[in-house]
């Protein structure tokens, strides 16, 4: 059936390129859009066009920003200059900010090191990070590495920790372990292992 509808096939293909969207989800989204009023589809098209034209990267931390030169965090004079948090994606900043626990500044890598996928340090915002840290006016003394606890995240943490140590900058990784309200019976062995490694005295 789909073979006779080239436009629908193309839409499903394009939607399927979005991370986290599988073939079935792409097909459901495509059918939904096909049944939607033209005004709704036009609204989606305009929104997609707007983010490509108007949303840029902050020149300091590489988070996303619209309508201004610096992002809100980089433009905030009350943030700590000596504390930097390194994250993988701009969306990670929103998660950390919602906790209210971090008062420093950020640097977004836009990915993690993954040799199997051909992603090397120079493909990320790591050279820009080093330039930022090596600036004579830099006040950064402590870095928090808020990266995922997977193979790529671990690889990136080890790489950055070495570079930070060479510069005399203290490096910390966010703790990983059993979440608040979590049941140990349902925690995977890797997470439980991290929780034991990150134990605290009571």
pLDDT (tens digit per residue) in 97-154? 998 999 999 999 999 999 999 999 999 999 999 999 999 999 999 999 999 988 999 9
Six-digit token string for 65:
């920003």
How distant, in Å, are the alpha carbons of 31, 34, 99 from that of 3? 15, 16, 48
Which two three-digit tokens encode residue 155? 């690889």
pLDDT by residue (tens digit) across 66-94?
987 899 999 999 999 999 999 999 999 99
Residues in CB range of 62: below 8 A, 6 or more apart: 90, 107, 108, 109, 110, 125, 128
pLDDT in tens, 13-28: 999 999 999 999 999 9
Instruction: Give pLDDT, residue 136.
Output: 96
How many Cβ atoms from other residues are within 10 Å of residue 62's Cβ? 23
Cα of 102 vs its chain's centroid, Å: 16
How much is the pLDDT for 153? 94
Q: Which domains, from first to last, does the chain contain?
A: 2-56 (1.10.8.420), 64-173 (3.40.1360.10)
**177, pLDDT greater than 90:** no
- Buried b vs exposed e over 16-27: b needs ≥16 C-beta within 10 Å? beeeeeeeeebb
């Amino acid at each position: 059936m789909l073979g006779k509808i080239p436009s629908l096939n193309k839409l499903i293909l394009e939607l399927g390129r979005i991370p986290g969207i599988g073939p079935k989800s792409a097909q459901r989204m495509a059918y939904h859009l096909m049944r939607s009023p033209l005004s709704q589809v036009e609204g989606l098209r305009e929104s997609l066009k707007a983010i490509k034209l108007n949303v840029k990267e902050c020149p300091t931390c590489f988070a996303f920003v619209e309508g201004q030169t610096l992002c809100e965090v980089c433009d905030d004079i009350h943030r700590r200059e000596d504390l930097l948090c390194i994250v993988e994606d701009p969306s990670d900043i929103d998660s950390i900010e919602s906790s209210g626990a971090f008062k420093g500044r950020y640097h977004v890598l836009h990915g993690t090191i993954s040799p199997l996928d051909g992603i090397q340090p120079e493909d990320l915002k790591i050279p820009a990070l080093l330039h930022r840290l090596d600036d004579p006016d830099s006040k950064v003394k402590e870095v928090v590495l808020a990266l995922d606890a997977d193979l790529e995240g671990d690889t990136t943490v080890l790489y950055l920790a070495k570079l930070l140590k060479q510069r005399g900058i203290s490096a910390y990784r966010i703790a990983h372990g059993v979440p608040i309200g979590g049941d140990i019976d349902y925690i995977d062995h890797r997470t439980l292992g991290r929780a034991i490694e990150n134990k605290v005295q009571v």
